[in-house]
Chains A and B, each alone.
Chain A
Amino acid sequence: GAVVSQHPSRVICKSGTSVKIECRSLDFQATTMFWYRQFPKQSLMLMATSNEGSKATYEQGVEKDKFLINHASLTLSTLTVTSAHPEDSSFYICSASPGSSYEQYFGPGTRLTVT
């Protein structure tokens, strides 16, 4: 149980374009979802937290207009990187937490490369 999926697993896009990453909780309802970013040889850093039906809360230094988060249902959250630049190339990982517990379950990650 407690499986979180992400799609796509890898994506390459051109500079200036937008790319959407999906995060799904497959066997539970996720009242809260989290988005992390991990640059090479660095640790995961939280970007934002979203509760279903509410606006996301962004960590300091993360531009909300650049990283659009939508948590429209209890099983799906999306992260859209708008006007992507090469410095946005990173490993993006989502995490979901069911309402019945405080545990975080992590997705497999999405490798974004902006050329």
Chain B
Amino acid sequence: DAKTTQPPSMDCAEGRAANLPCNHSTISGNEYVYWYRQIHSQGPQYIIHGLKNNETNEMASLIITEDRKSSTLILPHATLRDTAVYYCIVRVEGSYIPTFGRGTSLIVHP
């Protein structure tokens, strides 16, 4: 699976959009971009995934660049409960996740 690079930490004001970047310059054509998050002392929670088109669900939006070498997860209106570590993972659909990497620790402040 391709490696990803994320900033170690970010912060965001409550109610504002949180934009979390991820670089995956070695992504292969059949690899998807997945985002999970882990709230402190809980298991990971799936957020969203995509191949090349932008995706949106009730939790977030995923913007993937045209060359697929990077992506951005957008939480449109961050709340205090969105404080968590966010993991960007690139993998072939159907493969399991061997490791989550370091992720980005997002702190949403009042």
Q: Is B98 an interface residue (CB 8 A)?
A: yes
Count A-B contacts at CB 8 Å: 48
Given A43-B103, A102-B93, A93:B98 Cβ within 8 A: no
Q: How many residues of A contact B (CB 8 A)?
A: 23
Chain B interface, number of residues (Cβ within 8 angstroms): 19
The SS class assigned to the B binding surface is loop
Given contacts A108-B42, A109-B42, 6 further A-B pairs with CB under 8 A are: A34-B96, A43-B101, A93-B43, A102-B94, A104-B46, A105-B46
Label chain A's interface by main secondary structure.
strand
Contacting residues, chain A, for B42 (C-beta < 8 A): 108-109
Binding site for B on A (CB under 8 A): 4, 6, 32, 34, 43-46, 49, 59, 91, 93, 95, 97, 102-109, 111
